[in-house]
A and B are shown apart, each in its own frame.
Chain A
Amino acid sequence: MNGVLDWFRDSEHWHGDYGVPVLLGQHFLLTVTAVLIASAVGFPVALWLGHRHRGGLLAINLTNIGRAVPIVAMLSLFSLSVFGSGYLGPYGRSGLATLVTLALFALPPIVTSTYTALVEVDADVVEAARGMGMSEVAVLRRVELPLAAPLIVSGLRLAVVQVWATATIAALVAGPGLGNIITRGYANNQTAEVVAGSLIVALVALLMEIGFVGLQRIVDPRPVTSH
């Protein structure tokens, strides 16, 4: 454990192309961009499917399919073929391949939870809204979406944390991000470095979880029940 503290104290690990700030920035940028891409694709599809109560089998099984795909294989194939392993600005080596892989990994939790959230909105409430003469768009925007919001945010949380965690694997395929600290530790047989890198990843993941729990409370339209 002392070795880990020494690692954090060593100023060499905080500077340069492979210093914590640069890698943390890459990691963060990758996560945010990948989740944004996945959201741009996933939300409209899931909202439409959920609103129409259609394609449930696909929407729900997407998560299981996602779990079955070995990310190491996907990333290797991508960086070896279509997307190449070149530098992509702030995203680093194999930036594009990593970005696409991570976006694909963020898709299942977003689609599945958004779909489930919409389908689980009380059918009576939706019926009542239609009965009041609301248009389909208004039903979706003013009734279904607010009621589904907490679950949608929880799906987003899952996507963000999962992508953040998975992005470490990019380093295995010579990609960017905090995984480089971990792989460097393995390469040099430095257990302390391996643990230090993992701790940074886990700590930020925890902070993200906490942030999202707060967000989930904020978007919940139901009044806080007082006892």
Chain B
Amino acid sequence: MVPQIAPTFLDNCLTRNEWICGRYYSTRSEELRAAVIQHLGIVLASVALGLLVAVPLALLARRYRRLEGIIVGTTTAIYTIPSLALFSLLVPFTGLGPRTVLIGLGLYSLTILVRAILDGLASVPADVRESALGVGYGARTLLWRVEIPLALPAFMSGLRVATVSAVALTTVGSILDYGGLGDLILEDATFKAQVLAGSVLCVALAVTLDVVLVLVQRLLTPWARSAAPRRKAVAA
């Protein structure tokens, strides 16, 4: 009779394909860390890229009302293109590589950010603007000292949406082998421990970035904290 030694040797949570597997985390920690770093890099770079284009576009749209419809309309149209299709339509121009993922995700951020900047600037009360002009503010000081601070809350909420959705959309980048945690999830769709780890880390990354942005917003708008209770007291 053949002695049964094989099971004790090969039997672990990886070979049993279990959802939660300590061995997976201990043997693949390097891979996981690399995926998280790549994911974070893609998100930050694409949102920064979106922001870089969104600011001048939004200011242009505000300056020239006729352009506003075109800019908002075009960016909204881009947003309705599905991520997989957007990447695909970019491929002929940007190639089968990281560039396509970054530009594609940047375009999505752009849409949200242009809207957020315009909404933010529109939310500045006209009488505040008027009184600033009345006390002698020029166009530039008005923008920096009055309009931008007051537009911050709406802008920051847009930035949060853009960042969080970039985290989710980055996974689709794995079609171009550049999807951060998405690469882990799609590498082997039957590998339970890895699919779960990739998914959980992806959500955790989104939540972390969102919390960081909320904290940044609080630091940038200290008056909002003290103003909120006062407003409530008036209402009561």
Contact = CB atoms under 8 A, between A and B. Distances in A.
A202 interface: yes
B168 A69 contact: yes
Contacts of A64: 160-161, 164
B88 A198 contact: yes
Contact of A68 (B174, B186, B203): B203
A164 B92 CA distance: 23
B118 to A, nearest CB: 19
A172 B175 contact: yes
Given A70-B185, A201-B82, 13 more contacts: A64-B164, A67-B161, A68-B165, A68-B203, A68-B206, A80-B192, A85-B189, A161-B80, A169-B83, A172-B174, A195-B91, A198-B86, A198-B89
A72 B85 contact: no
Contacts of A80: 189-190, 192, 195
Interface string A42-83: 000000000000000000000010011111111011011000
Looking at chain A's contact residues, the main secondary structure is helix
Pick the most buried of B88, B202, B207: most chain A CB atoms within 10 A of its CB: B88
A165 B165 contact: no
Given A71-B168, A172-B174, A173-B186, A76 B199 contact: yes
Chain B, interface size: which category?
35 or more
Chain A, interface size: which category?
35 or more
B196 interface: yes
Pick the most buried of B81, B175, B206: most chain A CB atoms within 10 A of its CB: B175
Contacts of B174: 72, 172
Interface of A: 64, 67-74, 76-77, 79-80, 85, 161, 164-166, 168-169, 172-174, 179, 182-183, 185-186, 189, 191, 194-195, 197-199, 201-202, 205, 209
Contacts of B89: 195, 198-199, 202
Interface string B156-184: 00001100110111011011100101100
Nearest to B195: A76
Contacts, number: 123
A165 B82 contact: yes
Contacts of B195: 73, 76-77, 80
B34 interface: no
Pick the most buried of A67, A70, A183, A186: most chain B CB atoms within 10 A of its CB: A70
Given A76-B189, A76-B199, A194 B88 contact: yes
B96 interface: yes
Nearest to A64: B161
7 contacts: A67-B165, A68-B164, A71-B168, A73-B202, A76-B189, A168-B85, A183-B175
Contact of A70 (B84, B88, B91, B203): B203
A72 B161 contact: no
B212 to A, nearest CB: 14
Nearest to B177: A186
